[in-house]
Amino acid sequence: MQFGNPLDADIEYLKGVGPVRAELLKSELGFYKARDLVYDFPARHVDRSSFTKISQVTEEGSYIQIIGQLIHVELLSSGKARRLRGVFKDESGSAEFVWFKNIRTLQQFLQINGTYIAYGRATFFNHKLNIAHPELELLSEEALSAAEQSVRIFPVYRSTEKLNQRGLDGKVRRRIMAQLMEKLQPIHIPEPLPEYLVERMKFYSAYETIRQIHFPDNQEKLLKAEKRLKFEEFFFHQLRILHSQQIRKQIIKGYSFKSIGEHFNGFYKDYLPFDLTGAQKRVLKEIRKDLGLGIQMNRLLQGDVGSGKTIVALLCMLMALDNGFQSCLVAPTEILATQHYIGISELLKDTPVTVGFLSGSIKGKARAAILASLASGELHILIGTHAVLEDPVVFHKLGLAITDEQHRFGVAQRARLWKKSQPYPPHILVMTATPIPRTLAMTLYGDLDISVIDELPPGRQAIQTTYKSEIYRGEVIEFMKKQIAEGRQIYVVYPLIEESEKLDLENLQHGFEKLQVHFPAPDFQISVVHGRMKAADKDWEMKRFVEGTAQIMVATTVIEVGVNVPNASVMVIENSERFGLSQLHQLRGRVGRGASQSYCILMTNFKLTEDARLRLDTMRRTNNGFEIAEVDLEIRGPGALEGTQQSGIPEFKIANLARDGRILQYAREVVLSILDKDPELNLPEHRPLKIAVTKDLKEAEKWSNIS
């Protein structure tokens, strides 16, 4: 069968595929056309001339590539646990391989005395090189095509166990790709970027890039191809979100807050309890400018723990009030919403501004009174939980909606806020205390304008952080007693509530009992708070700590957000190596809120992994949440970061948010310059770009106008 463009060929008609293998590629990888193969880039490349000798491997945790023979395989069992052990050898020494999964399949396919390329993470056990679940490729030169043999650097494609079992392993996949690439000509690979941009950036053509990414002539050309593909991915992602933002700003009108009147000025002059930082003033100017444009504001306000986001939010709500509009502040938990309500009510107690609170627990006459005063306009500011989004909640004139902790609110929930205001939607301000790395912010929130409070209030002392192993437990207990004697309070945080057979962790109940020995009643009082408690019991325990009746609060991470006790100056985190960096930083932020010096003690096991040691060293070295977030991104990748799991992080095929930030930044700048000169993308050279941004228009129209 002949096709005009080989990329359009059904996958089963490719040489070496056929109907049976085609069905496998469809079901396992979602490949239907030849273009699906071509645009599935290699996971990595193997340089045949670049192998490490077993005897040269000294660094634990590094990824290595070795070539040698698998000389022995045996099945070992201990109770129900089974593992497969292999002995691998080259001319310099031997290493051990170990597998805990797919043992039966491996026993069938591993060839004793077969020559393999092995790739994996180096560890040492009993002073011997050990690799768990190595990637193995059996070398059989006669099976390689002439095209493969001509290259020194060859691609390794993602695969599945089923594909490998059915004869579609790495060698076969490369052979299919090599034959397909021989058919391709430059005319078959369309150029998605404007020609002037390709020339200016000194990129390979689209065709040459595809050729070099699959079968590179050398490392230099491979890197050049990768650089273009990374730029291209970031470029089109940024083009879509920035173009969408531009259209939204043209279409979605907003209320114009022109006045700064007595509510704002009176509070600022007479009731603001402290001077604003330079960062807070800068952010307020950015927001004030947005609110006066007559376009709906969609702005993300980032600020580290304790940086003063709430006072900025309050001043914005007073701007709305000066222009005759109500505001709401929605938080994800009742604890956090209550904290906002108490704090803001206290600040406004001597002003004519009225503040209400609404959550699921407010019922009956109290709820009816809140709803009535809101609908009449008597209530100026409503603070609450998701209950604010419910249909019976009707505003007289909603002009500003603020959400705290953005990642806890789905798109559909935020859409409900829009319906609370007519004829225009309310201005939207999204606050987050989770520092987001710059690259992640550009992808997650690229269609929002971003303000950052990157300065802590004056007089705030840096929290002194250290980590201690169990051998120093006595020293830590004495330090806690000294702090309590000085009138301070202490948090002790555990990762689990009950004993777990799988994880050897200190648990809350056992830890509480041990603390009672060191801090016996009635001389000491200990509060216990965890997520499985009834709300009333939790509130009572928290109240004891807030009021100072209890000197120690033993808790799970339920205290990560929402507890503000200025007198608490010590945070002890048990099994801290088990927490992510972002979570450790959020927990540490519960102390350091008063005038006294505060401390964070990270208790650890004796043996730490390389990643755990990096996390703890980072915590000890810096209190800067944005710096910590960058390290967290490097360690865990974007998908695992706290608060981003459900946030729609794009899956880039080849670009990496942790490593390619400079390319992303440049791609964004290029997009902005193009949209500045040609907002509608009507120039002939931008026609492919217009096609790209309108490709998924129907879905975009549905959600793109919602922050």
CA distance 619 to 596: 20
What span, in angstroms and rounded, lies between the C-alpha atoms of 318 and 430?
17
Reduced to 3 states (helix: H, G, I; strand: E, B; else coil), residue 615 is helix
* Confidence check: pLDDT of 148 > 60: no
Record the tokens describing residue 305, joined without a space.
């723990």
> What is the average per-residue pLDDT within 369-391?
93
Among 51-65, 195-209, 554-568, 643-657, name the one with the lowest average pLDDT.
Answer: 643-657
Gap between the Cα atoms of 476 and 471, Å rounded: 10
C-alpha triplet 706, 260, 427: angle, nearest 5°:
5
pLDDT digit string (tens) for 163-222? 877 778 777 888 899 999 999 999 999 999 999 999 999 999 999 999 999 999 999 999
685 is written with which tokens? 């050279």
Q: Which CATH architecture has domain 268-453?
A: 3-Layer(aba) Sandwich (3.40)
**Confidence check: pLDDT of 591 > 70:** yes
pLDDT value, residue 289: 94
DSSP H helical ranges for 604-696: 610-621, 625-636, 661-677, 687-693
- Tell me which of 360-369, 419-428, 447-456 is least confident: 447-456
For residues 354 and 587, which has the higher predicted lDDT (pLDDT)?
354
> What Rg value do the Cα atoms of the chain yield, rounded?
30
Cα–Cα distance between 189 and 139 in angstroms, integer? Answer: 32
CA distance 573 to 433: 20
626 pLDDT tier (thresholds 50, 70, 90): confident
Structural tokens at position 44: 């990595």
Count CB neighbours of 602 within 10 A.
23
- Residue 247 is given by DSSP the state H
Upstream peptide bond of 155 is cis (omega within 30 degrees of 0) = no
Q: What proportion of the chain, given as a percentage, has pLDDT over 70?
A: 90
What per-residue confidence (pLDDT) applies to 435? 76
Least confident of 272-286, 309-323, 377-391, 484-498: 484-498
Task: Give yes or no for residue 698 having a pLDDT over 70.
Answer: no
Grouping H, G, I as helix, E, B as strand and the rest as coil, residue 92 is: coil
Q: What is the mean pLDDT of residues 413-436?
A: 83
Instruction: Identify whether the C-beta of residue 280 lies closer than 8 Å to the C-beta of residue 303.
Output: no
State phi, psi for 151 to the nearest 5 degrees: -105, 145
> Looking at 405-443, which runs of residues are DSSP E strands?
427-432
**Who's near 2: CB < 8 A, 6+ residues apart?**
none
pLDDT at 246: 86
Which of 486, 457, 460, 481 shows the shortest CA–CA distance to 594?
460
β partners of residue 402: 329, 429
Per-residue pLDDT, 707: 43
Q: Is the peptide bond before 423 cis (omega within 30 degrees of 0)?
A: yes
Give 572-614 as a DSSP string.
EETTGGGS-HHHHHHHHTTS--SSS--EEEEEE-SS--HHHHH
- Determine the Cα–Cα distance for residues 102 and 136; give it in Å rounded to an integer: 14
123's enclosing H/E stretch is: strand 123-125
Does position 704 have pLDDT exceeding 50, yes or no? no
Secondary structure element (H or E) that encloses residue 297, with its range = none
DSSP summary character for residue 205: P
Of the CA atoms within 13 Å of residue 237, those in its CB half-sphere come to 26
Sequence-ordered list of residues with C-beta below 8 angstroms from that of 662, at least 6 positions apart, any chain: none
Q: How far is 100 from 571, CA to CA, in rounded Å?
A: 38
CA gap 225, 217 in Å, rounded: 11
Contacts of 637 (CB under 8 A, 6+ apart): 657, 658
Asked if residues 687 and 680 have their Cβ atoms less than 8 Å apart, the reply is no
Where in the chain are the domains? 44-156, 268-453, 464-622
Which of 48-57, 528-537, 540-549, 671-680 is modeled with the greatest confidence? Answer: 671-680
The 10 Å Cβ neighbour count of residue 289 is 11
Q: What is the pLDDT of residue 440?
A: 78
The mean pLDDT value for 377-398 works out to 93
Average pLDDT over residues 568-575: 93
pLDDT tens-digit profile of 218-258?
999 999 999 999 999 999 999 998 998 888 888 888 999 99
What tokens appear for 267 in the block?
């509070």
E strands, 207-325, in order: 298-303
The percent of residues above 90 in pLDDT, for the chain, comes to: 45
HSE-CB of 570 using CA atoms within 13 angstroms: 24
Weakest mean pLDDT among 443-452, 543-552, 580-589:
443-452
The pLDDT score that the predictor gives to residue 559 is 64
What's the mean pLDDT in 425-444?
A: 82
d(CA 417, CA 395): 11
pLDDT at 702 (0 to 100): 47
What is the average per-residue pLDDT within 495-499? 64
- The b-or-e profile of 579-601 (16+ CB within 10 A means b, else e) is bebbbbbbbbbbbbbbebebbbb
Candidates 280, 317, 274, 586; CA nearest to 453 is 280
Pairing of strands 489-493, 552-555: parallel
Tokens linked to 523? 């001389």
Let me know: does 422 contact 396? Beta carbons within 8 Å.
Answer: no
Q: What pLDDT is recorded for position 501?
A: 46
Asked whether the predicted pLDDT for residue 498 surpasses 80, the reply is no
623, burial (CB in 10 Å: exposed 0-12, middle 13-18, buried 19+): buried
Per-residue pLDDT at 150: 47
In this model, does residue 332 exceed pLDDT 70? yes
Does pLDDT of 396 surpass 70?
A: yes
The residue with greater pLDDT, 419 or 185, is 185
More confident site: 171 or 689:
689
* CA-based nearest residue to 307, from 406, 409, 435: 435
pLDDT band at 651 (very low <50, low <70, confident <90, very high): confident
Q: Which CATH architecture group holds 44-156? A: Beta Barrel (2.40)
Helix (H, G, I), strand (E, B) or coil at 81: strand
Torsion of CA 692, 35, 178, 137, to 10 degrees: 100
Q: What is the side-by-side strand order in the sheet with 489-493?
A: 464-469, 599-604, 568-573, 489-493, 552-555, 526-529
Model confidence band, residue 328 (pLDDT cutoffs 50, 70, 90): very high
Topology alike, domains 268-453 and 464-622: yes
pLDDT of residue 361: 87
Q: Tens of pLDDT along 259-293?
A: 899 999 999 999 998 889 999 999 999 999 999 99
Rounded CA-CA distance 268/476 in Å is: 44
Minimum mean pLDDT range among 36-45, 371-380, 550-559, 636-645: 636-645
Q: How confident is the model at residue 646 (pLDDT cuts 50, 70, 90)?
A: very low
Residue 102, phi-psi category: left (phi > 0), alpha (psi -120 to 50), beta (remainder):
left
| DSSP label of 50 | -
- The pLDDT assigned to 412 comes to 66
Residue 31 and residue 11: Cα distance in Å, rounded? 7
Coil, helix or strand at residue 328 = strand
CATH superfamily of 464-622: P-loop containing nucleotide triphosphate hydrolases (3.40.50.300)
